[in-house]
Structure 1
Amino acid sequence: MSATPVHPSGPALRIRWRQTVASARAAVGPHAAAPHLAHPDPDPYADDLLGRWSEPQRRYHTVDHLLAVLDRVDELAEHADDADAVRFAAWFHDAVYRPDRSENEERSAHLAERALPELGIDQALTAEVARLVRLTVGHDPAPGDWNGEVLCDADLAVLAGSPEDYAAYAAAVREEYGFVPDDAFREGRAAVLRQLLELPQLFRTPYGRDHWEPVARRNLTTELGLLGTASEGR
């Protein structure tokens, strides 16, 4: 397991992790194995995850992002079929992250599939968590996928930040891709922004549509315009 990272929210996040593990274990009853085979302590798993979220290559996908997504999941929890599954998926959804790799979500899902059964989480919940993690590749949950809608809305809620917060988010994304030349980054980022703006809706939960959609579209449009201005000013 990774060493415990130094982060102001670390202790509070460990408590939230323990609460989610306890809730998920209670939902399936006592451990089915022999009495002497107790569940492992959840804290080392939290420390491992927090260590991953604290890796030096991260600028946006950090513990702060994890905390923000968990907070938004709590805000939207009543919309989910299984809030514990969504909370676990938030913890794992970018647990493996390399900005120059394309299989981050798949590797993160595999990590969940290994770790959760060790913690005493049943097969059905583990499978749902892994499915949700993989869903963050495209953030396109099917109609009626309440868990997927909550996770995807929570992950994209950063798009609806204040102008200052959104600018900090965009700058952090650029830092993560610091190895990409400016022209290539602007082209790729602009394509992502256009793809988002072309979606019929960015957010699927009623709360997300009502509270985040207009602000997010304004922020995306502003960033796209700034990228165009920067390109023209070369």
Structure 2
Amino acid sequence: MVVTAVATSVAAKDERPNKRCTGGFVDEMRSVAMKLHTKDQSKEGEKETRGKPWPKWEPTIDGYLKFLVDSKLVYDTLDKILDQADFPEYAEFRNTGLERALNLAKDLEWFKEQGHIIPEPLSPGLDYSLYIEELSKNDPQAFICHFYNTYFAHTAGGRMIGRKVAAKILNGKELEFYKWDGDLTLLLQDVREKLNRVAQNWTRDEKDHCLKETEISFKFNGDILCLILA
């Protein structure tokens, strides 16, 4: 299935260019995520490749706009959850520098200025936003898994896919979605340390529960990424 191949390529593909040795629970989250990659995507991957590899995709502007719109909805939802902070640990992850919603708003405005019609969000983004919003109210460990995989995937495999898509359909233009203020390596390191501090207060069962949510995160993010091919 194409979704399976896409999901494994988007989620935390390989953090080694950004990664410092931190240890702690973040390394466990990364390990679980990497195992969900296909063998041709990472030497740590354990999944067999199915469908067309993403480097051979033929993206379209319309599909890419659908992907950006649904992605913005998810990042808006994450921002709202963190601002409301139904659980105190959520406040740790406000204003980390990894936020993407404002950058995506700028990109969508640019597309509009080029004469493109900005679509309404579709079911992949709507479904995922609803899922994480409900999850955040009563399952902080599972929610943190989605926070980690969504943001960290974008800084790794997401950036790589963005460059490939831009080269094919945007004449190489770099969108704001793929730009960060400050040193991204340091931003990621700071968030890893916060994740580790929060997880120190979890039981082993709570940590395992968080890790089990990884595959669900892959599926939702993969469905959104598939919109690029729409």
Same fold (TM over 0.5): no
TM-score, length basis structure 1:
0.28
Larger Rg: 1
Q: Which has the higher contact order (CA 8 A, sep 6+)?
A: 2
TM-score, length basis structure 2:
0.29
